[in-house]
Structure 1
């Protein structure tokens, strides 16, 4: 696992240092460096040694995060500087490979146990947790449409009563977006959209106004507009080089500000000018 992560990090670092030519001329992004400002604002507590998901709680201006595969099934609450405020054990859940976290309008949390580096897992799921963060409301099974291999995914968010899952695609084949209605009896994800991104996607977030979403990779941040409630890749906005180590977590604070954490314990804020 360590060797795999080192090779993957070096691969994405190389990609992050490349130009914006592909994103601008072929995919329609604007260069993000003209519109976005990056600053480091804090450090994660030692308990969070592999931050792999992030969500913002607007009611008390704090963040929730969790560790990557094999970590304890805990949710950690921190302030924006990284100070640990609370630890919530999720005793009814198991952290096989937790990769992202999101929240719905009612305050329920969704933890994506969707990592599948080996493409061998068949027990992918998303845990719905109540807003008190003390009980699993349901375990939502996740299945992809029939394919030769089950994709790996590390990015998801909840919006419009649905779960949106973004594949990672280490082979540079691009990123697929799948969707599943919450409460739907059919547990198979439905294919929604594809984009030829060249860096594997490791995190996703949607803003409170539901008019913009972002994807993070080890090397870049991708911004997309949402027009007429259509969450897909048809309206690319900004692409920003972001070679700040092993970045796997991203969350919106408000319409124009995102917070990013990496597995080396750093916290960054990215603001639109």
Structure 2
């Protein structure tokens, strides 16, 4: 019954959602006001890829993804969705892997931090060498502001499915289970020993956050939710919710779980049923970005 209710919730979020609540609660603007947007289905993942929960680039035309449980494997595919290679990783298991990030040295960061019940204590990120696929580090961390496991439903803001890499740190965006959904931004250094992280900012959002990525030129980042895409243009060089922020209804993209910038103007999205969508965002006028 719970699965059926959750499926209905996701369907209503994706099919009927708009950005009115996000505009009222957090001053989001409509993305189509300043941008021309197209959303196209471009392929479907091979059945050998059970569920796509994260995305990273392998080459200009191929990509890595992973499931959120089961074998500790990465799957290599192209934009048509063809499965090109299955890469086992030297880690014990896949326990709620939720997102992929990548640095400029081509290390992959695997977010083993899904926390549906807000009671997980073994949050970690695996750092993998992108050339030989060997494990180079395991970054364990905790939320310094979480004192109860689990907290009451009204404070269940510690599920986690979204992050990206920027300037020697990982930026994490939580997924709220509370009725009034928020996302909290945390900064996790990839080196050092202080891994009890504190929230830098929080923002009320209508849709729970399921994935994140930063643009190639680092001037914007996106958060993905059920039926919504949130785009942020920070006012300075710091990753922040400050500055311009936009909301885009995605329509019938389903339970979308992964997002990746293909270029400064194009994004790739996958959903749990393996469908691939390409979102193209072009400024309507000079200076909109």
* Equivalent residues of 1:27, 1:236 under 8 A apart: no
**Cα distance in 1, alignment partners of residues 5 and 277 from structure 2:** 24
- The residue number in structure 2 matching 1:271 is 280
8 A contact 1:51–1:248 mirrored in 2:
yes
SS of alignment partner, residue 263 of structure 2: coil
TM superposition shift of 1:170: 2.1
Q: Which consecutive segments of 4 or more residues in structure 1 shift more than 3 A?
A: 3-6
CA contact (8 A) 1:211 1:227 kept: no
Matching of residue 51 in structure 1 with residue 60 in structure 2: no
Q: Distance in 2 between matches of 1:7 and 1:240?
A: 25
What is the CA-CA distance between 1:184 and the residue it aligns to? 1.8
What secondary structure does 2:71 align onto?
A: coil
The equivalent residue for 1:65 is 65
Q: What's the CA shift string for 1:91-134, capped at 9, x where partnerless?
A: 22421100000101110000000101122211110000001252
1:187 aligns with 2:187: no
The reply on whether 1:244 has 2:253 as its aligned counterpart is yes
What's the offset of the Cα at 1:146? 3.5
The aligned counterpart of 2:177 is 170
Between structure 1 and structure 2, the one with the greater Rg is 2
Residue 12 of structure 1 contacts residue 199 of structure 1 at CA under 8 Å; is this kept in 2? no
Question: Alignment length, in residue pairs?
Answer: 269
How much is the aligned-residue C-alpha RMSD, in angstroms? 1.7
Instruction: Report what 2:43 is aligned to.
Output: 42
Does residue 152 (structure 1) correspond to residue 152 (structure 2)? The answer is: no
The Cα of 1:4 is off from its aligned counterpart by 4.4
SS at structure 2 position matched to 1:81: coil
Cα 1:124–1:223 change in 2 (3 A) is: same
CA 1:218–1:4 in 2, change beyond 3 Å: closer, same or farther? farther
1:126 aligned partner? 125
Tell whether the 8 Å contact from 1:114 to 1:125 is kept in structure 2 after alignment.
yes
Of the candidates 263, 266, 289, which is equivalent to residue 254 of structure 1? Answer: 263
Structure 2: stretches of 5+ with no match in the other structure = 151-157, 283-289
1:103, 1:157 within 8 Å by CA — same for their partners in 2? yes
Matched, 1:21 2:17: no
2:226 aligned with 1:218: yes
Give the whole-Å Cα distance in 2 for the aligned partners of 1:184 and 1:225.
29
**Aligned partner (choices 6, 9, 17) of residue 7 of structure 2:** 9
**Residue 203 of structure 1, CA deviation:** 0.6
Gaps of 5+ in 1: none
